[in-house]
């Protein structure tokens, strides 16, 4: 995922990159029972973990009866599916022009995809960090060191990934996590809700005007507040989702009607349009999760979301492999509509393969390969971590 908003448009924002992760945002950590240690709870962490959350990223197995917030996995997988289509035009240097205008596929990507999914990952990353912080305060006497190792690993992984995918997001998630999220853990618990709520909305409003990485701080702050306040399940419920979708539709609709489409490249209107679109997508998807389609959507998107970091990195490798037929061999030149059709079909195929891999992998293992390494570095435990599922 790139942090440019939009990343693939000709002469678009030059990006630095948005899940998941959540981080990508990390897989949703658990809220477990208090550990045997009696480390003093940190200031920003509530004294009691929300009962409805299950922190899967703690050093001990989740307690009996705990469960994941499945909506986060599904939303993360949904965002991952959109990011691949937003990234591929820049990664493969596709020419969007078809004669004097955009070819239809390029126009569709710019209108409905570009810049719409990166904000979802940023919010999910903040939520994941907040839930992980709750776990760290219960399982480590030095929880900030745990979180620093986690963010440091993500930064190093992002540096390496940048060599393959310039403008990707992981490095910025790692750095801004250290600069923005870690200091939030020092806030007194009684001030967290009003401060983070107000600051997050203000930072998001400012970031939406500039777009790209400027969106990250506000979304991180709002996500951290949701994760530490026990409001995740409530936020991912129908009424807030409907409200979010209406606000996003109003914002995108205003930009569209007042400025036409696409908005001026590199303009604030462009960023506002994408941010509004992200709100519409998130709200609509959460509403669908409350509908009879819930089971189907979880089956399709949750496996992708639980292996989001692994799938995000491997998607880059698979996308770069498309350079062989499109540019090295020149079988389908990328300056044609046929080239775009080939690449878009390739993205669909990659997502299908990743879904099969993720589904089969999770039948045998509790985490994806990169997720397990990330967890190992985070906790630095000498004893083996639960990785393979019990037979």
* pLDDT tens-digit readout, 325-364: 666 666 666 667 777 888 899 999 999 999 999 999 999 9
Q: SS3 for 365?
A: strand
DSSP 33: P
Q: Is the dihedral of CA 379, 384, 387, 389 positive or negative?
A: negative
293-300: average pLDDT: 96
Half-sphere exposure of 36 (CA within 13 A, CB side): 2
Alpha helices in the chain (DSSP H): 70-91, 104-112, 118-139, 143-162, 170-176, 182-184, 189-210, 216-229, 232-235, 238-259, 268-289, 294-306, 308-321, 323, 337-364, 369-379
Give yes or no for residue 295 having a pLDDT over 70: yes
Is the CB of residue 175 less than 8 Å from the CB of residue 123?
no
Give yes or no for residue 285 having a pLDDT over 90: yes
Structure tokens at 235: 């936020």
Better-scored residue on pLDDT, 196 or 153: 153
* pLDDT tens-digit readout, 178-199: 999 999 999 886 667 778 888 8
Give yes or no for residue 311 having a pLDDT over 80: yes
pLDDT for position 386: 62
Chain mean pLDDT for the chain:
80
> What confidence category does residue 66 fall into, taking pLDDT thresholds of 50, 70 and 90?
very low
Burial 171-208 (b: 16+ CB within 10 A, else e): bbbbbbbbebbeebbebeeeebeebbbebbeebbeebb
> What confidence category does residue 102 fall into, taking pLDDT thresholds of 50, 70 and 90?
confident
> What confidence category does residue 270 fall into, taking pLDDT thresholds of 50, 70 and 90?
confident
Is the CB of residue 53 less than 8 Å from the CB of residue 157?
no
Structure tokens at 320: 């770069």
Lowest mean pLDDT, pick from 46-50, 198-202, 262-266, 293-297: 46-50
- What share of the chain in percent tops pLDDT 70? 73
pLDDT for position 156: 97
DSSP 101: E
> What confidence category does residue 209 fall into, taking pLDDT thresholds of 50, 70 and 90?
confident
Structure tokens at 251: 């914002």
Is the CB of residue 51 less than 8 Å from the CB of residue 279?
no
pLDDT for position 328: 63
pLDDT for position 44: 45
Place of tokens 């393959």: 164
* pLDDT tens-digit readout, 116-152: 999 999 999 999 999 999 999 999 999 999 999 999 9
Highest mean pLDDT among 81-85, 104-108, 257-261: 81-85
Structure tokens at 359: 């589904």
Give yes or no for residue 49 having a pLDDT over 50: no
Upstream peptide bond of 176 is cis (omega within 30 degrees of 0): no
Lowest mean pLDDT, pick from 28-37, 175-184, 210-219: 28-37
Domain boundaries, the chain: 70-379
Q: Is the dihedral of CA 197, 22, 167, 160 positive or negative?
A: positive
Lowest mean pLDDT, pick from 40-49, 216-225, 307-316: 40-49
**CA proximity to 32, closest of 48, 54, 57:** 54
**CA proximity to 226, closest of 77, 379, 72, 367:** 72
DSSP 388: B
Q: How far apart are CA 262 and CA 316, in angstroms?
A: 27
Is the CB of residue 21 less than 8 Å from the CB of residue 65?
no
pLDDT for position 382: 54
Give yes or no for residue 45 having a pLDDT over 80: no
Lowest mean pLDDT, pick from 175-184, 220-229, 382-391: 382-391
Better-scored residue on pLDDT, 108 or 283: 283
């Amino acid at each position: 995922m790139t942090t440019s908003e939009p990343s693939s448009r000709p002469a678009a924002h030059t990006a630095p990159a948005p899940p998941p992760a959540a981080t990508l945002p990390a897989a949703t950590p658990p809220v477990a029972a208090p550990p045997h240690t009696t480390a003093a709870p940190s200031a920003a962490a509530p004294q009691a973990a929300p009962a409805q959350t299950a922190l899967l990223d703690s050093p001990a197995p989740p307690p009996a009866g705990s469960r994941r917030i499945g909506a986060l996995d599904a939303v993360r997988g949904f965002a991952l599916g959109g990011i691949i289509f937003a990234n591929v035009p820049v990664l493969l240097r596709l020419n969007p022009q078809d004669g004097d205008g955009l070819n239809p596929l390029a126009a569709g990507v710019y209108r409905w995809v570009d810049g719409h999914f990166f904000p979802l990952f940023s919010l999910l990353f903040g939520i994941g960090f907040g839930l992980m912080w709750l776990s760290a305060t219960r399982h480590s006497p030095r929880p900030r060191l745990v979180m620093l190792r986690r963010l440091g690993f993500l930064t190093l992984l992002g540096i390496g990934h940048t060599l393959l995918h310039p403008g990707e997001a992981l490095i910025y998630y790692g750095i801004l996590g250290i600069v923005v999220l870690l200091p939030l853990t020092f806030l007194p618990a009684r001030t967290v809700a009003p401060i983070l709520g107000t600051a997050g909305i203000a930072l998001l409003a400012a970031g939406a005007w500039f777009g790209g990485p400027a969106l990250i701080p506000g979304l991180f702050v709002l996500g951290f507040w949701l994760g530490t306040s026990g409001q995740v399940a409530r936020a991912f419920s129908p009424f807030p989702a409907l409200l979010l979708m209406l606000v996003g539709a109003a914002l995108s609709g205003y930009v569209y009607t007042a400025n036409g489409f696409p908005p001026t490249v590199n303009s604030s209107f462009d960023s506002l349009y994408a941010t509004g679109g992200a709100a519409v997508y998130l709200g609509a998807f959460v509403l669908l999760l409350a509908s009879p389609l819930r089971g189907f959507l979880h089956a399709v998107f949750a496996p992708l979301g639980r292996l989001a970091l692994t799938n995000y990195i491997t998607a880059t490798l698979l996308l770069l492999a498309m350079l062989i037929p499109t540019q090295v061999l020149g079988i389908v030149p990328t300056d044609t509509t046929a080239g775009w059709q080939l690449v878009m079909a390739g993205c669909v195929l990659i997502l299908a393969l990743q879904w099969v891999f993720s589904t089969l992998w999770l039948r045998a293992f509790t985490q994806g390969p990169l997720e397990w390494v990330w967890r190992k570095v985070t906790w630095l435990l000498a004893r083996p971590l639960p990785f393979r599922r019990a037979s």
